[in-house]
Amino acid sequence: MRHARDLSRREFLVRAGGTAAAVPTLSAILEACSKPGTAASGSETVQIARPDNPVTLPMNGEPIATDTPIEQGATLQILNWSVYMWKYVINQFVQQYGDNGIKFSGITTFNNMDEGVQKLQSGKIKADVFFPTIDVLGKLVAADLLQPLNHDLIPALQQDNWAVFQNPYYDQGWRYSVPYTIYTTGVGYRRDVIPDDVIHGMDNPWSILWDPAHKGKVGVYPSYRDVMAIALMKNGITDLNTSNDADLEKVRTDLLAMIDAVSPRIAYDASYNKLQRGVFDVTTAWSGDVVAGWGYDPPYTEASYKGYGYWFPADRKGPIDNDLIAIPKNAEHPRLAHEFINYWISFRHAMDNFSWNGYQPPQTQADVNELTKTQGLYSKQSSSWAAPTPYVGPWMPDAVVRETDFPIGYREGPLPADVDDHWHEIWSEFTAGVGS
């Protein structure tokens, strides 16, 4: 049964022009002779995962055998976001497996998830490890682009990672994914402009992004889901996957009002670079970005590090999420990929990477209360040009993510197509710059 379903889905994807298979031009045209898109009407849609609706993804084939030998002389291929992994830690891995002739030639990067999926989907990039977000995981499995993981080869998950991730809602039994980073989405601010107690004392701190006092100094991410999620939070709406027209209308009104009130600017580096350099006073911020900001903050003194902070609701009820690591179906070195994943989510290496990229790993051995007191490896290594700093600056305790945050936080999941279109429509209106 499963085979039959897979076949039809794969067949559809070939028609759709979405698979790895290189279809010769002529046959592509001939195949298209039945109207594309119509074939899809009968096929089932991908199940949408929610914390209250956990999903067990179907097994596409079997994981590789535990006794598969490590590939010799392989060049590790990583498909990832830019500025996301510390090369030093990758090089350590390569050295550790030096006897196997492992090489590493750089990370193929993407700037947003769609670009990443496109690159993977094209089949022309044979990545060994890929870093998907939760909302595309189900789709990637449905399109048969990922391979199931061999749990025996990744003991670090059970040994070192939080219990929350032993059986996550989006991938019950972690068949395809392990957690990578965990982060909250809040507000980054200049502490020299907005004192800590002022923002913490506000009735609705989310609304500081709309405060005309900071006109021209507000930065938002080029990420429609996160910016709109913040607009929802500002309105007290906690369903970050809402399809409710009234909710979305509020978001629309608020986004357009934001243009008039503060002339926001869209920037990828809003809260790890521009906030630090004083270009922005307030930003939409992922906790990890603000934490990593010291590395972009000349003159690299403690005083300059203390210039910016991170706010997240004190009751910890706000947007929270995690990213994933997975192995593509067409990985050329699947055994090495398992080794790499195990290495990457094990305590020492996960923490070293955290010291560089600012995104916390869900490590049981890392006492979250100590993170604001302990110096990380990158800070130690950078002593020649930068003042020392702990993993997380003690003046921004809100940026530390705790295991208890996950059950109460709000999560962004995949959206049905028509709802997603509606979200995009609103975002387009915002980026077109027309005020309210």
Q: Name which of 34 and 365 has its Cβ closer to another protein.
A: 34
Q: Name which of 136 and 377 has its Cβ closer to another protein.
A: 136
Give the total residue count for the chain.
436
Q: Is residue 37 left, alpha or beta, with left meaning phi > 0 and alpha meaning psi from -120 to 50?
A: left
Q: DSSP character for 242?
A: -
Show contacts with another protein in window 236-265 (CB under 8 A).
Answer: 259, 263-265
Q: DSSP character for 270?
A: I
Give yes or no for residue 267 binding another protein (CB under 8 A).
yes
Residue 184 Cβ vs another protein, minimum distance, rounded to whole Å: 22
Cα separation of 366 and 396, whole Å? 18
Applying CB under 8 A, among 7, 29, 65, 213 the residue interacting with another protein is 29
Q: Name which of 126 and 191 has its Cβ closer to another protein.
A: 126
Handedness of CA 94, 97, 101, 107 (dihedral sign): negative
Of 66-74, 110-118, 301-309, 391-399, the window that binds another protein (rule: CB under 8 A) is 110-118
DSSP secondary structure string, 359-398?
Answer: PBP-BTTS-TTTTTTSBPHHHHHTTTTS---BSS-TT-GG
Closest by CA to 266, choosing from 191, 209, 205, is: 209
Show contacts with another protein in window 134-173 (CB under 8 A).
Answer: 136, 139, 142-143
Show contacts with another protein in window 362-391 (CB under 8 A).
Answer: 385
Q: Name which of 225 and 398 has its Cβ closer to another protein.
A: 225
Applying CB under 8 A, among 28, 65, 163, 314 the residue interacting with another protein is 28
Q: Which residues contact 71 (CB under 8 A, 6 or more apart)?
A: 100, 332, 333, 335, 336
Q: Name which of 96 and 111 has its Cβ closer to another protein.
A: 111
What's the one-letter identity of residue 127?
A
Give yes or no for residue 7 binding another protein (CB under 8 A).
no
| Bridge partner list, 161 | 363
Give yes or no for residue 16 binding another protein (CB under 8 A).
yes
How crowded is residue 222: how many other Cβ atoms within 10 Å of its Cβ?
Answer: 14
Give yes or no for residue 83 binding another protein (CB under 8 A).
yes
Q: Name which of 325 and 400 has its Cβ closer to another protein.
A: 325
CA dihedral 167, 372, 408, 250 (to 10 degrees): -120
Evaluate whether 209 touches 230 at the Cβ level (below 8 Å): yes
Give yes or no for residue 40 binding another protein (CB under 8 A).
yes
Applying CB under 8 A, among 61, 98, 155, 216 the residue interacting with another protein is 216
Show contacts with another protein in window 338-357 (CB under 8 A).
Answer: none
Residue 343 Cβ vs another protein, minimum distance, rounded to whole Å: 20
| String of contacts with another protein for each residue 122-141, x by CB under 8 A | x-xx----------x--x--
Q: How far is CA 12 from CA 2, 43, 380, in A?
A: 15, 9, 53
Give yes or no for residue 45 binding another protein (CB under 8 A).
yes
* Structure tokens, 290: 């603000």
Cis ω on the peptide bond leading into residue 390 (within 30° of 0)?
A: no
* Structure tokens, 4: 């039959």
Applying CB under 8 A, among 296, 347, 348, 368 the residue interacting with another protein is 296
Q: Name which of 108 and 238 has its Cβ closer to another protein.
A: 108
* Structure tokens, 82: 């830019």
Q: Name which of 69 and 299 has its Cβ closer to another protein.
A: 299
Residue 171 Cβ vs another protein, minimum distance, rounded to whole Å: 17
Evaluate whether 410 touches 319 at the Cβ level (below 8 Å): yes
Give yes or no for residue 301 binding another protein (CB under 8 A).
no
Q: Name which of 3 and 105 has its Cβ closer to another protein.
A: 105
Q: Look-up: residue for tokens 């009002």?
A: 257
Applying CB under 8 A, among 3, 4, 99, 105 the residue interacting with another protein is 105
Q: Name which of 277 and 306 has its Cβ closer to another protein.
A: 277
Applying CB under 8 A, among 54, 243, 300, 330 the residue interacting with another protein is 300
Show contacts with another protein in window 221-240 (CB under 8 A).
Answer: 222, 224
Applying CB under 8 A, among 24, 69, 73, 201 the residue interacting with another protein is 24
Of 105-113, 159-167, 205-213, 353-361, the window that binds another protein (rule: CB under 8 A) is 105-113
How crowded is residue 94: how many other Cβ atoms within 10 Å of its Cβ?
Answer: 17
Q: Look-up: residue for tokens 């008039």?
A: 260
Applying CB under 8 A, among 60, 121, 241, 346 the residue interacting with another protein is 121
Q: Which residues contact 147 (CB under 8 A, 6 or more apart)?
A: 60, 61, 63, 64, 176, 327, 328, 329, 331, 334
